[in-house]
Amino acid sequence: MRFLLLSICVLVTACGTYPKKNNLVLQEGNSITKIDNPYFSNTTEDYVYKVNIDAFKKSFGGILILKKTGENQHRIVFTTEMGNKIFDFSFLGDEFKVNYVLEALDKKILLNVLKKDFYTLIKEELPITNTFLRNETRVFETKIYKAKHYYFLKAGELQQIVRTNKRKEKATFTFSEINNNIVNEIDILHHNIPLKINLKSI
C-alpha cells in the first residue's frame, strides 16, 4: 500500500504542468498583453560575440555577428576568428533562410534547432497567453513555433527564457551581464539533445 501511494504521488508530480512543477503562481487580470525583448532590436548596433557551440560531440568556436537589418529582419553570421564562414542565416519576419552553412553543420535536425534558438533570441514582441509570479520574478507564457516558452523578468529585465514540451524543459536561455539593453553573455542549454551555445560580447 505504501509503495502504491508513493507511485501515485510520483505519477501526479511527473504529470504536472511546467508552471505547477516550478511553483509559478497564475496571476489573474493582468493588463500586459505582450512581451518585449529589447536585446537585438537596434538597427544601428552590431551585436558581436565570441561564440562556442558544442553539438553532437563536435565543437565550433569563433565570432558571431548579429545585426537587425530592418523591420522584423535580422542577419546572423558565424565565422572562425580567421574569418572563414561557418554559417550565415537570415530572418525575414517568420521566414528563415540559410545563406551558407558548413557541411559539418548541414544537418536538418540541427538547422531546425538553430532556427528556433536564434528566432527566440531576436523575436521582439510576442503575445502573452498567461502571466505567473514566482517570488519577485514575473513569468510570461507565450508560444514560438507552437512550443510554449516562459519569459522570466525581474525588475523589468529579461533574465531567462525556458522552452518546454508540455511538462519538461527542452532548452534554457540565460542572459547575464546586462547593461542598457545589451546582454553581454548568453548561455543556451538544450536538455533533450547534446547542444549548448555560449555567447560572450566582445
CATH number at residue 65: 2.50.20
Identify the CA nearest to 92 among candidates 64, 77, 125, 70: 70
β-pairing verdict for 73-79 and 58-70? antiparallel
Identify the band that residue 12 occupies on the pLDDT scale cut at 50, 70 and 90. very low
Cβ(104)–Cβ(98) under 8 Å?
no
User: pTM of the full predicted structure?
Assistant: 0.88
Q: Grid cell 502573452 — which residue?
A: 128
Within a domain: 127:
yes
Within a domain: 78:
yes
Amino acid present at 172: T
Within a domain: 83:
yes
List phi, psi (to 5°) of 109. Answer: -65, -40
β-pairing verdict for 182-190 and 168-179? antiparallel
Within a domain: 137:
yes
Own/partner long-range contacts of 76-83 (Cβ < 8 Å, ≥24 apart): 76/118, 76/122, 78/51, 78/53
Cβ(40)–Cβ(64) under 8 Å?
no
Residue 44 has pLDDT above 50, yes or no: yes
Residue 7 has pLDDT above 80, yes or no: no
Within a domain: 38:
yes
Residue 13 has pLDDT above 50, yes or no: no
- If one counts the domains in the chain, the total is 1
Within a domain: 9:
no
Within a domain: 104:
yes
Residue 9 has pLDDT above 70, yes or no: no
Within a domain: 8:
no
**What is the rounded CA–CA span in Å between residue 132 and residue 37?**
18
User: Structural domain of residue 130, as residue ranges?
Assistant: 16-201
